[in-house]
A and B are shown apart, each in its own frame.
Chain A
Amino acid sequence: DIQMTQSPSSLSESIGDRVTITCRASQGISNSLAWYQQKPGKAPKLVLYAASRLESGVPSRFSGSGSGTDYTLTISSLQPEDFATYYCQQYYTIPFTFGPGTKVHIK
C-alpha cells in the first residue's frame, strides 16, 4: 500500500496569512493526488485534484503543486472559513490512501 504523510499535523495561523501544507507519498503517484477540506461534523469537501486543479467553486486562494512523491497545498491568504482539517489522498492505485490530516487553527 502507498503510505501518505502530511506535515505539519497542525498549525496556528492568523487571517490573511499564507499557509503551506506538505504531503508525501511512499512512492510516485503521478499527480494522482487530491486535497480535501473537512470541518467538524461535516463530510470532506474536494478542494484540489490532479495535484493542482481547482475543484469548481473553490476560491482561487487555494493552489496545489508537486510531482512524483511530494505535493503541497497553499492557501495564499487565510480566511475565517478556511479553518478546518485538510487531508491529502492518493488515487493512483487501490487501496486509495489518505494522509493523517493537518488541522489549521486560528491564532
Chain B
Amino acid sequence: DAGVIQSPRHEVTEMGQEVTLRCKPISGHDYLFWYRQTMMRGLELLIYFNNNVPIDDSGMPEDRFSAKMPNASFSTLKIQPSEPRDSAVYFCASSSGRGQPQHFGDGTRLSIL
C-alpha cells in the first residue's frame, strides 16, 4: 500500500518567494497533519484536518503560513512570503482516527536563502 506521499522532497528558494508543499494522505484516512521539524524545536504540529476541515491551526507560526485540503486525497501548506527562519523539514501525516497511529511521509526539506 502507498504511504503518505509528499512533494517536493527538497526545495531551495530565496526569501520572499512563495513556497507550496504538497501531501497525499493514505487513502481512507480521515485525519491529516502538518508538522515542522527543526533542531531547535523538534517536531511541532502546525495544523490538522478532519474530513478536509481544519480543526486546529494554533501551531501555525503566523499569517504567512496557510494550509488547505480541497479534497480527501490532497493537501497543501503554503508559505508566502518565505523567510530564512522557515527553513526546516516539513512532514505530513495521516491517520484513520482516534487511537490510531499517525503515518508520516518522508518530508520536504525546505531551505530559504
Co-assembled chains A and B: no
